[in-house]
Structure 1
Amino acid sequence: MRYGLLLILSLWLSVGCEDAINVDLPTSEPKLVIDALLGFNENNGNPITVGQVKLTLTAPFFQEETPPAENASVTITDNQTGQSFGLLESEPGVFNLGLPDLQFNRDYTLEINYNNETYTATQQLKGSTLIDNLEQGDSFLFDEDEETEVKVTFTDIAGVRNHYLFSFGFGNFLVIEDEFFEGSQLTFSYFYEDVEPGDLLVVTLFGIDQDFANYVNLTLIQSGEDGGGPFATPPATVRGNIVNTTNPDNFPFGYFALGEFDTKTITIE
Structure 2
Amino acid sequence: MLVCFRLSFVFFLLTAALSSCTDVIPIDLPTAESELAVEGTVTDQPGPYTVLLTRTSGYFNDQPSPAVRGAQVIITDNEGAADTLRETEPGRYQTHRLRGKIGNTYLLTVRTEGEEYRAATEIKRVPPIDRLEQQHKVKEAGWKDGYYVLYNGPELPGVGDYYRFKLYQNDTLRNKPDELIVRDDALYDGKYISNVELTDRPFRVGDKVRVEALSLPQDYYYFLNEMFTQINNVGLFSSPPSNVRTNVLNRNASGPKAVGYFAGTAVQSATITIQP
Aligned to 2:64: 66
CA distance in 2, matches of 1:94, 1:148: 38
Note closer, same or farther for the CA distance 1:249–1:239 as it changes in structure 2 (3 Å cut): farther
Output the TM-score relative to the length of structure 1. Answer: 0.78
Instruction: Say if 2:162 and 2:182, in contact at 8 Å, map to a contact too.
Output: yes
Aligned to 1:231: none
CA distance in 1, matches of 2:141, 2:85: 44
CA distance in 2, matches of 1:138, 1:31: 48
CA distance in 2, matches of 1:206, 1:56: 25
Stretches of structure 2 lacking an aligned partner (at least 5 in a row): 1-16, 168-172, 235-239
Q: Tell me the alpha carbon deviations over residues 165-224 of structure 1, each in whole angstroms, 9 at most, x when there is no partner.
A: 112222232112112222121031022537543333332111112222112111111111
Please state which structure has a larger fraction of its residues in helix: 2
> Highest Rg: 1 or 2?
2
Q: Tell me how far 1:74 sits from its aligned partner.
A: 1.1
How do 1:10-29 and structure 2 match up within 5 A?
15=19, 22-29=26-33
Q: Tell me the alpha carbon deviations over residues 11-36 of structure 1, each in whole angstroms, 9 at most, x when there is no partner.
A: xx865697765443321222121111
- Higher mean Cα deviation, 191-200 or 203-212? 191-200
How do 1:1-269 and structure 2 match up within 5 A?
15=19, 22-41=26-45, 48-49=46-47, 51-67=49-65, 68-81=67-80, 83-98=81-96, 100-139=98-137, 142-145=142-145, 148-168=147-167, 169-171=173-175, 172-187=179-194, 188-191=196-199, 193=201, 195-224=203-232, 235-248=241-254, 250-269=256-275
What percent of counterpart residues are identical?
27
Instruction: Say if 2:83 and 2:95, in contact at 8 Å, map to a contact too.
Output: no
Output the TM-score relative to the length of structure 2. Answer: 0.76
CA distance in 2, matches of 1:31, 1:161: 32
The one-letter amino acid of 2:269's match is T
CA distance in 2, matches of 1:71, 1:153: 45
SS at 1:62 equivalent: coil
Aligned to 2:10: none
What's the RMSD between the two structures over aligned residues? 2.8
